[in-house]
Structure 1
Amino acid sequence: MRQSEKRVALLQELREGWRSERQGWVLDDELSDVVWNAVRTALREGIVEAADARARAELGALLGRSVSRALRITDYGRDVLVYALAPVAPVPAQREPAPGERLVRLLPAQMETLRVFVGIGHKLSRPPVKGLAERVAAAQFSLADKRWLLTLTPEQIDSAAYALSLRTTVFSCAEANRFSREYGVRYHPDSGTVRGLAWGVRD
């Protein structure tokens, strides 16, 4: 059993051993041997707390015997346990492009640009076109390609090209150049959106 699995098992035992009359404290001899290797790390991470002298004395008076050690799951530990036991959310299937749409594969820097663009759209003289924000939010990351996948209409592709043109002056023109090469669209303030060409400024 890995250490992470031992910590989860420890949290499960502490949650199952919770008694209100004990204020949640679980005695050391009530825990299985396998989880004890995880106690030190669990205490350091704040998912478990150890009873201090006063708590042990109160617990001993309640039980009628001395208590040398007791542990209790913390609120943070409860949240960690809920997260650890949660089923993995299924990844929705990538939506197939509808007629007139195109599957666009963006590098992380390009996707970051679009996220910023749709976030500040209300401040721009040329905001994102209708539906682009929703497509950006629904994008999925392909581990195999290390690209973000989203389906866009021609108008949304033009809007994405405009977003990447904003990045060119401030950060880098590499992302706009790649987009131009792969999708044949670039925005330039002098000529507007140019389609069907694979040209760009030098990096």
Structure 2
Amino acid sequence: MMFVRELGVGPVVVLLHGTPSPPQDLLPLATELARRYCVLVPDLPGYGQTAAVDELTVERYADAVAEMLAANGVTRVRAVAGFSSGAYIALDLVLRELVAADLVVSLGGLATFDDAARTFRRDVARAIRLDPSTITRDLDALMPTLMLSPAWRAAHPEDDARAASWLHLTSPHVVADELAALAEARDLRP
């Protein structure tokens, strides 16, 4: 069962965190939106209070979100928004018609990866599976560069440490599975 925070009343807006990133980072936005909407902020599988899933694919994330919405009686949303890979999940959710949505909002999101990005994710997933300490030893330093724009990093240097900490929000196994799943994710561009 997926854990979900619910704020406000009105048409439903779903906010999906990235992988890895904390769902709590979306709460300031959720609080603002809750003035006019019922905002749902789930913990995606493997994060917070939601258990990890076996045989992870990006589609399984979207399926889990669809199941959470159905369990809450939601068949249509005003918007589904996602940060980073959460935006990919949001787009997949709507393109596969798992939920009807008026809007899909991408916050630093993506719809596909080029070959180099896919290879990088496969290689990192393999390295983590061989030696989980790779996360602490090698990847913490890369996270700010991978997850934050140069302009953001210049304006908010304190966020480098936060971005580095995101890899520790879940187990190395989940991080490796997510990277491998993203490397195999289908191209969602029209």
Do they superpose with TM above 0.5?
no
Tell me the TM-score normalised to structure 2 length. Answer: 0.27
Which of structures 1 and 2 has the larger relative contact order (alpha carbons within 8 angstroms, sep 6+)?
2
- Which one has a bigger Cα radius of gyration? 1
Tell me the TM-score normalised to structure 1 length. Answer: 0.26
